[in-house]
A and B are shown apart, each in its own frame.
Chain A
Amino acid sequence: MHIPDGFLSPQTYLPAWGLAALAWAWAARGLRASLDETTVPRLAMATALAYALGLVMVPIPGGTSGHALGVAILALVFGVRQAFLACSLVLLLQALLFGAGGITALPVNALAIGLCGALAAVGARRLCAGMGETVSVALAAWLSVVVSGLVVALVLGIQPAIAQRPDGSPLFFPFGLALTLPAVLVPHALIGVGEAVVTVLVFRYAKARRWPTP
């Protein structure tokens, strides 16, 4: 669900860079102490998995792309902070190596997918813990995709209102919320099902290998 470069106004992405910098500082605090030769390989593997999942993209008319995120598995196994950092790293590499997403859109993509997605996944897992492991992990993964999609749709949908010429024509993304919300959310509600399946499988793999989860 990357927002590509060139569709976000400076009024949006510059404050987003400030907000993301604060969030990255918060996430990185204490990370160095928690990384050792057992956690690093797992985090690196899960990050690369999220990277691989994100490469299979389908453009969506709402101005973004549809693909699995991998953020739920990162959040459920490593916690919100590490998931956010790993996801941001994946987005940076995808932007620079493949032109997917972009430097101007990076903070919005990272906050939407890496932070909001991770928080949604962990929150849903805790709320639905009583429903059993498979159901709660699947719901967490589905919700992480939908919440991320919602944030992306909202940010895109407000662009025509905050960046326009005096005659009212758009300067950046041209479609309003009435179009972006359904265009992004409906496909992602379906993509979330696939994300849920992948997340459950990888989560079971992690449990079978006795990885400690937060």
Chain B
Amino acid sequence: MADSLTPRRRLLLYLGAVVGITFVHQPLPLALLLCGALALSGRRRWRLLQKTLFAMLAFNLCVSLGYLALSLWQGKVSGDWLLLANLRSCLLVYLGFWFIATTDLLAALAGFPLLCLLLTLTIGQMQTFTRVLRDFRLAFASRNLRRPGRRAQALHAAAQAQHLLDKSVAAASESALAMRSRGAFDD
């Protein structure tokens, strides 16, 4: 059934689910909803769950440990909030990853041309950044048989930053000229 939904409907469903979840304040329904989401998301569930736990681990661990320490200090330890907050975060982040894994975001936002234009450009830039950074890292590694010193690393970083900015502007200029030739700036 989920496959028959249009990207726009998936977006609306996702946003509705997110809002609804924040009105649930009991751990058990949240746990059941998380189990339901895991069951419905098919074979990708463990990869999505792993990604979710990795994304929320640092922040939630930090806040949970802080809360635990404060509760212990005040002498009123309760696991209820820890369970509630972590289950809610896990479910919200999982739904976000599930949504983005199954939905074409640009198609879902098709009714907002300016947003699509900016998103397309930004995603293109991110890909340029990632590619340039990987190329530089590989080139740097291949030219240093031993671990390079801090000075060499700093020089490399400076050269990389300058090139990254120039390359990024050049790549975006090409995109913008292509868009100009197709009339993207005319209306």
Chain B residues, Cβ within 8 Å of A48: 122, 125-126, 128-129, 168
Chain B residues whose CB sits within 8 angstroms of the CB of A173 once the complex forms = 63
Q: Considering only CB atoms and an 8 Å cut-off, how many residues of chain A contact the other chain?
A: 60
Q: Inside 8 A of B23's CB, which chain A residues have their CB?
A: 10
Asked if A63 CB lies within 8 Å of chain B CBs, one says: yes
Question: Among the listed stretches A121-129, A163-171, A188-196, which one makes contact with chain B, having 4 or more residues with CB under 8 Å of it?
Answer: A163-171
- Find out whether the CB atom of A99 lies under 8 angstroms from the CB atom of B122: no
Does A4 lie within 8 Å of B56, measured CB to CB?
yes
Contact string, A36-77, partner B, CB cutoff 8 A, digits 1/0? 111011111101110110000101110111000000000000
CA distance A6 to B89 in the complex (A): 5
Q: Are A28 and B114 in contact (CB under 8 A)?
A: yes
Question: Does the CB pair A37–B19 fall under 8 Å?
Answer: no
Q: B119 to A102, Cβ gap below 8 A?
A: no
Q: Quick check: is B97 within 8 A (CB to CB) of the other chain?
A: yes
A210 CB–B CB distance under 8 Å: no
Are A49 and B165 in touch, CB under 8 angstroms? yes
CB atoms of A60 and B89 under 8 A apart: no
B105 at interface by CB-CB < 8 Å: yes
Check: B175 CB closer than 8 A to any chain A CB. yes
- Chain A: minimal CB distance from B99 (Å): 8
Q: Contact partner of A45 among B70, B97, B99, B169, CB < 8 A? A: B169
Residue positions of A touching B, CB distance < 8 A: 4-10, 13-14, 28, 31-32, 35-38, 40-45, 47-49, 51-52, 57, 59-61, 63-65, 85-86, 89-90, 93, 95-100, 102-104, 165, 169-175, 201-202, 205, 209
Please list the 8 inter-chain residue pairs (A to B) with the smallest Cβ-Cβ separation, ordered nearest first: A99-B55, A41-B172, A48-B125, A6-B89, A5-B92, A44-B172, A37-B176, A44-B121
